[in-house]
C-alpha cells in the first residue's frame, strides 16, 4: 500500500525538487534492524520508497533482515553500502552509544526514535555532536519525511503529500493530525520533522527554521510546540528577526498544571517557566499566527498562505 502511495505521489505532477536534510538520494542504515520495532519500521520505510541500504546489529553481521544486509558496525555499512543517514531503534541503555557511533562514522543525518534515554547519556551525546557535522533529530521522535521522496522513522506515509509547507514539531501524534489537515486543505509538505519531546534533543526549531528559510521551495512553516522549556520563545525571537516566510504555530498542553509532566520528558512547567500562555504571547508578539483551535490549523495555514501570496 505504502509503495503504491509513494509512486502515486511521484506522479501527481508537482515539482518534487524540494526538501531539507533527506531526499531520494538518502541511503539509510537502520541500527537495531533485527529487533521487533526496527524490522517493522524498516518494512514500512522500504514500502514508502526509502532506500534502506543496510542494517546494524552487533553480532549479527552477514545476515539479512527484510532483505537488507546486516552489519556489525555502522562503519562497515558505510564502507560496503555507502549509507549517509542512520535511523536508530535501539533500547534506551544503548541508544546514546548508537548515536555516537553514527556520528563517528560520518552520518549526515541521525534519526533517533528511542524514548527514555537517560539525560546524562544525552549530555555526553550533545558534547560529541558539538564537534561533529552530523545533524541529530530526536531522540524520542517520529523522525523526518520528505513526501514522495523518502521517510526516515515512523511517520505514516499516506497522510503526506508533496508541497511547499515545512512542519517542525515537538509532538509526534500532533504532527500526524496537523499534516492530515494540511493535506486535506490542499497544502502539501516540503519536509516534516519531529524534533523530539525530551529535555535534551539534537536540534531545535531554530536549526530547522534556518534550513527552511534557505529552501526556495518551502513557502511557509507550521510549528507545533508544547509546554516546558523555552524553545518556542527562542523560535519566536528568531522568526521576528530573521525569518520572512509565513508561520503558523500551535502550543499543546494549555491546560497542564505546573509541576506535572504531560507526556514528554521535556513537557513540564517548572520554576514558573514553560507555560503555554507565555509561549503563545511570545509567538503572537513576534507577529506569528497562533492557532488556538487545533481542529482548524490546516484552514488557518491556508488563510495565512493566501494572504502572503
**pTM of the entire structure?**
0.89
Cα dihedral 149/18/115/180 (nearest 10)? -80
- What is the predicted pLDDT for the residue at 257? 56
Closest CA to 29 of 8, 1, 50: 50
What are the C-alpha distances in Å from 103 to residues 52, 91, 139, 208? Answer: 18, 18, 14, 19
Q: What pLDDT was estimated at residue 309?
A: 56
264 is catalytic: yes
Which residue ranges does the chain devote to CATH 3.40.50.720?
2-137
For the four alpha carbons of 196, 198, 199 and 202, in that order, the dihedral sign comes to negative
Question: Could you tell me the mean pLDDT of each successive run of 10 residues in the chain, 309 residues long?
Answer: 37 53 97 98 98 98 97 98 98 98 98 96 96 96 97 97 97 92 97 93 97 97 91 96 97 64 46 73 96 94 84
In this predicted structure, what is the pLDDT of residue 5? 36
Q: In the prediction, which pLDDT does 17 show?
A: 47
pLDDT of residue 256: 53
Q: Encode 24-55: b = buried (16+ Cβ within 10 Å), e = exposed.
A: eebbbbbbbbbbebbbebbbbbbbbbbbbbbb
* CA distance linking residue 19 with residue 123, whole number of Å: 30
Q: What is the rounded distance in angstroms from the CA atom of residue 301 to the CA atom of residue 178?
A: 10
What is the per-residue pLDDT for 199? 86
Q: 196 with 250: CB under 8 angstroms?
A: no
Residue spans in the chain of domains classed CATH 3.40.50.261? 143-308
CATH fold label, 143-308: Rossmann fold (3.40.50)
Residue 26, CB-side half-sphere exposure with 13 Å CA sphere: 31
First to last CA, the chain: 36
- Catalytic residue (choose from 160, 164, 208, 264): 264
Name 65's bridge partners.
Answer: 68
- The predicted pLDDT at position 204 comes to 96
Instruction: Return the CATH superfamily for domain 2-137.
Output: NAD(P)-binding Rossmann-like Domain (3.40.50.720)
Amino acid at each position: 500500500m505504502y509503495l503504491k502511495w509513494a509512486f502515486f505521489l511521484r506522479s501527481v505532477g508537482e515539482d518534487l525538487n524540494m526538501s531539507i536534510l533527506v531526499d531520494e538520494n538518502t541511503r539509510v542504515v537502520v541500527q537495531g534492524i533485527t529487533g521487533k520495532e526496527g524490522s517493522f519500521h524498516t518494512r514500512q520505510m522500504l514500502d514508502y520508497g526509502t532506500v534502506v541500504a543496510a542494517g546494524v546489529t552487533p553480532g549479527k553481521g552477514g545476515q539479512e533482515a527484510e532483505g537488507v544486509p546486516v552489519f556489525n558496525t555502522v562503519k562497515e555499512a558505510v564502507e560496503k553500502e555507502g549509507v549517509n543517514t542512520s535511523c536508530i531503534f535501539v533500547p534506551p541503555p544503548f541508544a546514546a552509544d548508537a548515536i555516537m557511533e553514527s556520528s563517528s562514522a560520518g552520518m549526515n543525518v541521525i534519526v533517533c526514535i528511542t524514548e527514555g534515554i537517560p539525560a546524562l547519556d544525552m549530555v555526553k551525546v550533545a558534547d560529541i555532536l558539538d564537534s561533529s557535522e552530523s545533524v541529530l533529530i530526536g531522540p524520542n521522535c517520529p523522525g523526518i519525511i520528505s513526501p514522495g521522496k523518502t521517510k526516515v522513522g515512523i511517520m505514516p506515509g499516506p497522510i503526506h503529500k508533496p508541497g511547499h509547507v515545512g512542519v517542525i514539531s515537538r509532538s509526534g501524534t500532533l504532527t500526524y493530525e496537523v499534516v492530515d489537515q494540511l493535506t486535506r486543505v490542499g497544502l502539501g509538505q516540503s519536509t516534516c520533522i519531529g524534533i523530539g519531546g525530551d529535555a535534551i534533543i539534537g536540534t531545535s526549531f531554530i536549526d530547522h527554521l534556518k534550513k527552511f528559510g534557505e529552501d526556495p521551495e518551502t513557502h511557509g512553516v507550521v510549528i507545533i510546540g508544547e509546554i516546558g522549556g523555552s524553545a518556542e520563545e527562542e523560535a519566536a525571537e528568531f522568526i521576528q528577526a530573521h525569518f520572512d516566510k509565513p508561520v503558523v504555530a500551535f502550543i499543546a498542553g494549555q491546560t497542564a498544571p505546573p509541576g506535572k509532566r504531560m507526556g514528554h520528558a521535556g513537557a513540564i512547567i517548572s520554576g514558573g517557566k514553560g507555560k503555554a500562555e507565555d509561549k503563545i504571547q511570545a509567538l503572537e508578539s513576534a507577529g506569528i499566527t497562533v492557532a488556538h483551535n487545533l481542529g482548524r490549523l490546516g484552514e488557518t495555514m491556508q488563510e495565512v498562505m493566501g494572504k502572503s501570496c
